[in-house]
């Protein structure tokens, strides 16, 4: 599948000083995958070095017409990840 970066994602990469290859890397080899039942989007998470620390980095993406569109990226704390799964907002996806 072809992977596309939205303009919003490109802006976030620049503003947050996140390496440009991180979104594809997270998509292709995630540590965890979820479906966001509130937003109807896919989530992928991978621990990567960001701001000199190992952090959970998440991407939000959609699959349309056999194409992957990565919407945004940001670090996510373990607590937020746990809360979203316990509340049922995110369900594990394989």
Query: What pLDDT, in 10s, does the model give residues 20-38?
Result: 999 999 999 999 999 999 9
Strands 32-36 and 2-5: unpaired
Beta-carbon count within 10 A of 40 CB: 8
Phi first, then psi: give them for residue 32, nearest 5 degrees: -145, 150
pLDDT tens across 74-89, in order?
Answer: 999 999 999 999 999 9
Q: How confident is the model at residue 1 (pLDDT cuts 50, 70, 90)?
A: confident
**Domain extent for 22:** 2-92
CATH number at residue 87: 3.30.2310
The count of domains in the chain is: 1
**Residue 94 in this model has a pLDDT that exceeds 80:** no
């Amino acid at each position: 599948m072809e992977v596309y970066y939205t303009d919003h994602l490109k802006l976030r990469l620049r503003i947050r000083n996140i390496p440009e290859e991180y979104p594809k890397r997270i998509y292709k080899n995630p540590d965890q995958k979820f479906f966001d039942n509130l937003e109807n989007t896919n989530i992928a998470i991978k621990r990567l070095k960001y701001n000199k620390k190992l952090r959970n980095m998440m991407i939000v993406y959609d699959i349309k017409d056999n194409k992957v569109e990565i919407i945004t990226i940001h670090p996510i704390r373990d607590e937020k990840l746990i809360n979203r799964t316990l509340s049922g907002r995110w369900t594990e996806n394989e």
